[in-house]
Amino acid sequence: MKEIVLINITGPDRPGLTAAITGILARAGVGILDIGQAVIHDTLSFGILVEMSGDASHSDVLKDVLFRGYELDQQVRFTPVSADDYGRWVTGQGKARHIVTLLARRITAEHIARVSEITARYGLNIDQIDRLSERIPDGMPADQGKGCIEFSVRGEPEDAAALRTEFLAISQELNVDIAFQQDSVFRRNRRLVVFDMDSTLIDAEVIDELAKAAGVGDQVAEITERAMRGELDFKASFRERMALLKGLPESVLEEIGASLRLTEGAETLIGQLRRLGYKTAILSGGFSYFAEGLQKRLGIDYVYANSLPTRNGVVTGEVEEPIVDGERKAQLLRELAQREGISLEQTIAVGDGANDLPMLSIAGLGVAFRAKPLVKQSAKQAISTLGLDGILYLLGFRDREGF
């Protein structure tokens, strides 16, 4: 008669411990049904689910494991598992799987408690918890840290929309970001990332900077803000803002381009994406003059943005079609995916304004980055607490993997 036993081993982490324990089991021909190991602050937690015959010789194997564990300063516990319990565990492996990613400058017990309470309430079981971020040095300023905890959960939420609503609510309450996504084959197999430019890749709205130089800053900034909140039609607001720039000296463009600052984490993210073989694109309702400068600086593969016509050394205030608005961005994303021979599920779109929502909604992973409330509520995922390189955590990458 077969017996199933769960062996739990805890204690100081020691080199060779896994080999010593599994060596004992191997010599006895014990079958391994499951195995897992974690080390937290040099303390080991090691579990092995084994299958063995019920004769006396296998009882001796467990004694050998117990004695060897004692020699290695480990606590060893044996738990019999019934056939019914094992059958339920096997059946559960076929359930849907999701990833919950918690991001913050500092992760606290309250963050984890609130996230785990919500997942349990919606019928999801946490199978594994991992820290993706690096260890935070003692004394690092609170606003400079970078924390990420990933929960692997099993099951299908009873109400996915309500679950996301609750995650969004505690994100705002606790100043954290919480992403909820299906754990599919595509998660670490995205191939194309497209970015909005203004207030996403760069920490400015270029058209507002141009307007300040033209002496119409307040007027244009108000129109820009309303357009990004989704209160105005983008094309109409773009034409209105362009008309206000008429007569701006062309020499101002170079000055503003030189002053633009990259958003936190942008250079790290683009560099890692290039290293991993991703294609990147800027799809911007801003201007190609500035987007092409970023392309050279960061090594972006594709750029699509609006023209800024000049004549006789000044901006004309005219608009050239087609205007890159929200629908145009979504169309360009589809075209780029087709050009690269990939599915939309393998794409990532990142933006902050209402005109980014169409592309965020069709991408495999749509990320609202430091976005307006309407965009944050409507996008699949949102990052507001960390920099752009936080997107790498949503793909499952760890700091120790080199970013």
Residue 210 contacts residue 256 (beta carbons within 8 Å): yes
Residue 321 and residue 306: Cα distance in Å, rounded?
Answer: 8
How many alpha carbons fall within 13 Å on the CB side of residue 60?
A: 6
Catalytic residue among 196, 352, 356, 389, which? 196
Dihedrals φ, ψ of 256, to 5°?
-70, -40
* Closest to 18 (Cα-Cα) out of 45, 53, 50: 45
Residue 350 and residue 360: Cα distance in Å, rounded?
Answer: 7
Residue 94 contacts residue 104 (beta carbons within 8 Å): no
How many alpha carbons fall within 13 Å on the CB side of residue 74?
A: 27
Q: Which two tokens stand for residue 383?
A: 């990052």
What sign results for the dihedral spanned by CA atoms 102, 104, 107, 112?
Answer: negative
Catalytic residue among 55, 85, 127, 198, which? 198
Residue 62 contacts residue 28 (beta carbons within 8 Å): no
Placement of tokens 């516990």 in the chain: 77
Residue 337 and residue 346: Cα distance in Å, rounded?
Answer: 8
Burial class (CB in 10 A: 0-12, 13-18, 19+), 15: exposed
Q: Can 159 be counted among the known catalytic residues?
A: no
Q: Can 64 be counted among the known catalytic residues?
A: no
Dihedrals φ, ψ of 308, to 5°?
-125, 85
Task: Please give the DSSP secondary-structure letter assigned to residue 198.
Answer: B
Which residues, 6 or more positions from 65, have their beta carbon under 8 angstroms from its beta carbon? Answer: 7, 21, 24, 25, 76
Please tell me whether the peptide bond between 157 and the residue prior to it is cis, using omega within 30 degrees of 0.
no
C-alpha dihedral (297, 364, 386, 188), degrees to nearest 10 = -80
Q: Catalytic residue positions?
A: 196, 198
